[in-house]
């Protein structure tokens, strides 16, 4: 596959097949990020679909000189997710019984520990650790995606690593 | 996942165990399936506080039994 930015440019110029390539390349990583953040499958599917819908409606707004397509898509997905979670929080406070209950699925003990450790991190630390470890994103791009200063990314990453090492009983402190 | 073996090796190995299965995600969103999902998703019982905390006889379970027993008794008597 060509560079994602080149494919995006082709799509902007009218090549509709290019969108298929973009979707194939990024729907998995986006889903994984949202799912690890929320542990809610239908919600994650919804956000992935909304992200590509947003990309389609604003396809000419993307400027490759401002950043990688991957960061751009993660930025859209993260903002959609946070907005939706905030809305859900508001509904939860107004009508607590209408909010879907959290279901815990069974996994091997080791995996559950890793999942729990990640999901118990504070929101921002969780987002930083997911983007850094699972999505190969440099700290500068993480700062752009989460709309926070680079220094905050560094400090949250450090805190998250220390917390995870403690929870997962990793000894190379 | 990024190969961050230069730092936090053991932590990176632990985190790598957390894999995610990506489902088939249709490109176009179906409003109907969203509605079905919303209606079918498990929610808390809004009157859960009325449920007995431990197994016991409640009027809702006893009344049908008494009512069904009363019918043959009434037929015998009258």
Q: Categorize the per-residue pLDDT at B48 as very low, low, confident or very high, splitting at 50, 70 and 90.
A: low
Tens of pLDDT along A57-101?
998 999 888 889 999 999 999 999 999 999 888 887 787 766 665
B10·A172 Cβ contact <8 A? yes
Give chain A positions within 8 Å (CB) of B49: none
Give start-end residues of each CATH 1.10.1740.10 domain in chain A.
1-103
Q: Which of B24, B27, B49 to mutate to test the interface with A (most CBs of A within 10 A)?
A: B27
B42·A32 Cβ contact <8 A? no
Up-side HSE of residue B62: CA atoms within 13 Å toward CB? 4
Residue of A nearest to B28 (CA): A49
User: Is 90 exceeded by the pLDDT of residue A35?
Assistant: yes
Decide if the complex's ipTM is over 0.85. Answer: no
Give start-end residues of each CATH 1.10.10.10 domain in chain A.
105-173
Flag whether residue B54 sits within 8 Å of chain A, measured between CB atoms.
no
Give chain B positions within 8 Å (CB) of A23: 27
CATH number of the structural domain A1-103: 1.10.1740.10
Assign domain A105-173 to a CATH class. mainly alpha
Instruction: Determine phi and psi for A68, rounding to 5 degrees.
Output: -70, 150
How far apart, in whole angstroms, are the C-alpha atoms of residue B58 and residue B56?
A: 6
Question: Which tokens is B2 given?
Answer: 């990024």
Q: How many helices (H) and strands (E) does chain A have?
A: 8, 0
Give chain A positions within 8 Å (CB) of B18: 36, 111, 114-115, 118
Tens of pLDDT along B5-17?
445 688 888 899 8
């Amino acid at each position: 596959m060509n560079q994602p930015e080149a494919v995006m440019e082709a799509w902007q110029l009218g090549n509709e097949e290019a969108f298929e390539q973009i979707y194939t390349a990024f729907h998995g990583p986006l889903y994984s990020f949202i799912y690890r953040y929320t542990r809610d499958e239908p919600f994650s599917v919804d956000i992935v679909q909304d992200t590509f819908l947003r990309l389609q409606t604003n396809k000419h707004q993307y400027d490759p000189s401002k950043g990688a397509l991957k960061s751009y898509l993660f930025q859209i997905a993260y903002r959609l997710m946070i907005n939706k979670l905030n809305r859900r929080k508001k509904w939860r406070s107004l009508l607590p019984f209408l909010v879907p209950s959290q279901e815990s699925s069974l996994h091997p003990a080791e995996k559950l520990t890793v999942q729990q450790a990640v999901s118990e991190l504070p929101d921002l630390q969780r987002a930083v650790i997911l983007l850094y470890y699972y999505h190969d994103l440099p700290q500068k791009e993480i700062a752009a995606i989460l709309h926070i200063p680079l220094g905050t990314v560094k400090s949250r990453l450090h805190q998250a690593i220390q917390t995870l090492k403690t929870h997962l009983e990793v000894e190379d402190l | 996942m990024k190969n961050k073996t230069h730092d936090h090796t053991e932590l990176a190995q632990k985190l790598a165990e957390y894999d995610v299965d990506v489902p088939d995600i249709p490109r176009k969103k179906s409003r109907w399936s969203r509605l079905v999902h919303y209606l079918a998703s498990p929610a808390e019982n809004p009157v859960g506080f009325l449920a007995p905390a431990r197994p016991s006889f409640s009027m809702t379970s006893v009344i049908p039994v008494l009512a069904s027993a009363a019918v043959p008794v009434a037929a015998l008597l009258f």
